Chains A and B, each alone.
Chain A
């Protein structure tokens, strides 16, 4: 199934909660979804017999300076098709429902997005840092991140 067809079917099912469809030449086509509905959309994509997106390839955060974005790369092993979903979040209070209950893989991916961007996934069972030390300050991949001067008394800069 092509991205276009998937978009049409989703639009018919979820209506206004599917915000946009973009077919830029340089990237894979992606569908922008209203953040509050992302869990339902993902469940629908996973379980509907014509989609069967049983594999979440990747979940990542992006800081676009105007907003925070979470990108979901999905792939269906039985149907051999793929789709990219995006949700756009407020930059200061990035909050989005978790998809951990849809794909278990999302657990660590979401923790990483939290660690690097400070995006909070509501309903995640264990929303703590995964790569940085627990006492790390700030979210390193945000555009406005400032390197700390010292960490535990060690100078950080070269």
Chain B
């Protein structure tokens, strides 16, 4: 509403906003980020409190979805067992891009209390999917979680949509190219080792869609 009031303001307004399409898209994206709810252990209890009226997560524009296909980001809250790891990977792959991951609590950050003797616990969800924001704590306070959420929103709202490469710093660009080179090499290897190429997508996470990589390759 604040924006509409300003547009209507007789001095500042006239119904005109100056800006780039990217800014507006990013503003919209960051202010309505729907998440896939994925509670796994005790952290999910804190997570339920986040959704209830006292902390009211929806005021940040984060609306819970039960389908990965409708979600912008996934909150992994709790202990990730090895049995669950495959499922998380599948869920993540079902999400449409751009997609983000928040890891909530020590368990999904690093294995938490089970880091040493947990034979069945995945020591950090970043071993299977790329994490954008880590929220520390066992469990994290809702305030800590909100800090993470705001960080994620900031990250989304400053992301480049068009002409990504031009806006990157030289170091980032070099790192990206190195990574892509590695990914391509790895992909080649997996392709040779596996006759069934469809498996490749399941086996590795490239960080980019295959279409994008193919386009890069043909350059």
A158–B117 Cα distance when bound, in Å, is 9
* CB of A122 within 8 Å of the partner chain: no
CB pair A154–B120 under 8 Å, yes or no, is no
- Nearest A-chain residue to B204, judged by Cβ: A153
A132–B119 Cα distance when bound, in Å, is 11
Q: In B111-134, which residues have CB < 8 Å from any A CB? A: 111, 115-116, 119-120, 122-123, 127-128
* CB of A155 within 8 Å of the partner chain: yes
- Which single member of B111, B115, B116, B128 contacts A154 (CB below 8 Å)? B128
Given A154-B122, A158-B111, A133 and B127 contact (CB-CB distance below 8 Å)? no
CB pair A154–B119 under 8 Å, yes or no, is no
Indicate with 1 or 0, residue by residue over A83-122, a CB within 8 angstroms of chain B CB atoms: 0000000000000000000000000000000000000000
- Which single member of B82, B115, B203 contacts A151 (CB below 8 Å)? B82
CB pair A140–B116 under 8 Å, yes or no, is no
A154–B127 Cα distance when bound, in Å, is 7
A154–B120 Cα distance when bound, in Å, is 11
- Nearest A-chain residue to B111, judged by Cβ: A158
CB pair A156–B116 under 8 Å, yes or no, is no
- Which single member of A147, A154, A158 contacts B85 (CB below 8 Å)? A154
Q: Which of B85, B110, B120 has the most CB of A within 10 A?
A: B120
Indicate with 1 or 0, residue by residue over A126-158, a CB within 8 angstroms of chain B CB atoms: 000000110000001000010110011111111
* CB of B188 within 8 Å of the partner chain: no
- Which A residues are CB-close (under 8 A) to B111? 158
- Which B residues are CB-close (under 8 A) to A145? 119
CB pair B85–A132 under 8 Å, yes or no, is no
Given A154-B127, A158-B115, A140 and B120 contact (CB-CB distance below 8 Å)? yes
A20–B123 Cα distance when bound, in Å, is 45
A153–B89 Cα distance when bound, in Å, is 13
Chain B interface size band reads 10 to 19
A155–B85 Cα distance when bound, in Å, is 12
CB pair B119–A156 under 8 Å, yes or no, is yes
- Which A residues are CB-close (under 8 A) to B110? 158
A154–B123 Cα distance when bound, in Å, is 10
- Which single member of A132, A140, A147 contacts B83 (CB below 8 Å)? A132
- Which A residues are CB-close (under 8 A) to B83? 132-133
How far apart are A108's CB and chain B's nearest CB, in angstroms? 17
- Which B residues are CB-close (under 8 A) to A147? 119
- Which B residues are CB-close (under 8 A) to A156? 82, 119, 123
Q: In A20-72, which residues have CB < 8 Å from any B CB? A: none
* CB of B172 within 8 Å of the partner chain: no
A89–B20 Cα distance when bound, in Å, is 75
Residues of chain B at the chain A interface (Cβ within 8 Å): 82-83, 85-86, 110-111, 115-116, 119-120, 122-123, 127-128, 203
Subset of 20 A-B contacts with CB under 8 Å = A132-B120, A133-B82, A133-B83, A140-B119, A140-B120, A147-B119, A151-B82, A152-B82, A152-B85, A153-B203, A154-B82, A154-B127, A154-B128, A155-B123, A156-B123, A157-B123, A158-B111, A158-B115, A158-B116, A158-B123
